[in-house]
Amino acid sequence: ADKFTLLHHFEGFPKTNDFRLESEELGGLKPGQFLCQAEYLSVDPYLRPFSKRLNPPSTMIGAQVAKVLESKNDKYPAGSYVVAGNLGWRTLSVAEDQPEDGRSFTGLEPLPELGGLPRSYALGVIGMPGVTAYFGFLELCQPKEGETVVVTGAAGAVGSLVGQIAKIKGCRVIGFAGTDDKCAWIRQLGFDVAINYKTCADIDAALKEAAPKGIDCYFDNVGGMLSHRIRQQMNLFGRSSVCGAISSYNDKTGQGAQVPAPEMDIVFKQLRVEGFVNDRWWHRREEAFKDMVAWVREGKIKVQETVTTGFEKMPQAFIGMLKGQNTGKAVVKV
Ligand code: NDP
């Protein structure tokens, strides 16, 4: 069995030599246990901040879709598949079930009902990023038909779903992404306007033109100065769902760029700005999965994956995702 060990905490941007590929011996199965073979592994932004909780050298954390090869647990028979957030960057793992009340995106469970969609989608649209987009947007932004929605990280796993859900709900949708190709893709998805935040010379003017009636909902994946600019054009009683702040994850200080304090925008516009972790709605994941499977099958939600092949490329895929080399969900096929 192969695994990646994180050798030390990241300093600034992760590097391939922060990791080491190692082999490990697995013991025999005890009652209740089963042997899992990774088929797809997920590289996600949260691994960067969450890795601070590890005590390196330590097996790198991360989610995977795996096939059960051998089993001493009737709920997970040989030949079935699981989605596991707790097995880390491993090709083979000895796993066990966990109590239902302890479930979260870092847990392990049978693959959800995918309605014929590819198994890798259990790491994306029918998985953690799907739950994040669905509840993080619908519950916290409470979008209404005709409202204007802004999404950052709009060509990524979560953002591309949020924008498409907003279109399904009848909103005007503006997305920010980091390349012209990504902007072209999200326009194909139905975004009304796509802005390349890296090359746009005047983001304030571009936003004003894109959102002449102001912004009602902001789904914030990036934080930092871009989010400050967007908040400034929000309407009275606007809602912002704060999902992540990837613009600061690789900052040595972890503080990100100096951004003006948001309080006075929040006070005078009476904004509701709320952060969340998808765990909050994990017990309701079936609701999201049911709608998402239907929307994907009906073509209302289009899905793209950036697939890296080869377990040995896990670090490159992770670093590439942080650098913006993925469009849609970044996954590794073993
Ligand atoms: P993505 O698929 O969006 O991949 C990350 C993307 O972030 C890159 O492709 C890149 O796209 C963009 N990016 C990188 N650096 C910057 C930067 N400095 N400024 C702006 N954009 C940047 O990842 P996910 O969809 O999985 O995650 C998106 C966000 O949602 C992250 O902040 C993540 O932490 C958060 N998240 C939060 C969850 C929660 O429960 N709260 C759960 C899941 C994700 P580009 O080319 O456009 O720059």
ipTM, 2 decimals? Answer: 0.99
Atom of ligand 1 nearest to the CA of 325: 9
Angle, helix 157-168 to helix 180-188, in steps of 10 degrees? 30
Whether 136 contacts 243, CB under 8 Å: yes
Whether 23 contacts 88, CB under 8 Å: no
Query: Does any ligand 1 atom lie closer than 6 A to the CB of residue 124?
Result: no
**d(CA 45, ligand 1 centre) in Å:** 6
- Written as tens digits, the pLDDT of the chain (334 aa) is 999 999 999 999 999 999 999 999 999 999 999 999 999 999 999 999 999 999 999 999 999 999 999 999 999 999 999 999 999 999 999 999 987 776 788 899 999 999 999 999 999 999 999 999 999 999 999 999 999 999 999 999 999 999 999 999 999 999 999 999 999 999 999 999 999 999 999 999 999 999 999 999 999 999 999 999 999 999 999 999 999 999 999 987 656 668 888 888 999 999 999 999 999 999 999 999 999 999 999 999 999 999 999 999 999 999 999 999 999 999 999 9
Residue from 246, 250, 280 to probe ligand 1 pocket by mutation (most atoms less than 8 Å from CB):
246
Which class is 2-124+304-333 in CATH? alpha beta
Give pLDDT, residue 252: 77
Query: Does any ligand 1 atom lie closer than 6 A to the CB of residue 319?
Result: no
Closest protein CA for atom 3 of ligand 1: 156
| Domain segments of the chain as ranges | 2-124+304-333, 128-279
Is residue 67 classed as helix, strand or coil in its secondary structure? Answer: strand
**d(CA 222, ligand 1 centre) in Å:** 6
Closest protein CA for atom 35 of ligand 1: 244
Supply the CATH classification number for the domain 128-279. 3.40.50.720
Give pLDDT, residue 259: 87
Rounded to 5 degrees, φ, ψ at 317 are -65, -40
Query: Around Cβ 84, how many Cβ atoms within 10 Å?
Result: 22
Query: Does any ligand 1 atom lie closer than 6 A to the CB of residue 130?
Result: no
Distance (Å, whole) CA 133 – CA 50: 20
| Beta strands in 132-243, from DSSP E residues, in sequence order | 148-151, 172-177, 193-196, 215-220, 234-242
Give pLDDT, residue 217: 98
Q: What is the dihedral of CA 178, 282, 109, 90, to 10 degrees?
A: 40
Query: Does any ligand 1 atom lie closer than 6 A to the CB of residue 276?
Result: yes
Whether 331 contacts 120, CB under 8 Å: yes
Give pLDDT, residue 187: 98
Query: Does any ligand 1 atom lie closer than 6 A to the CB of residue 129?
Result: yes
Q: What is the DSSP letter of 61?
A: P
Distance (Å, whole) CA 145 – CA 137: 14
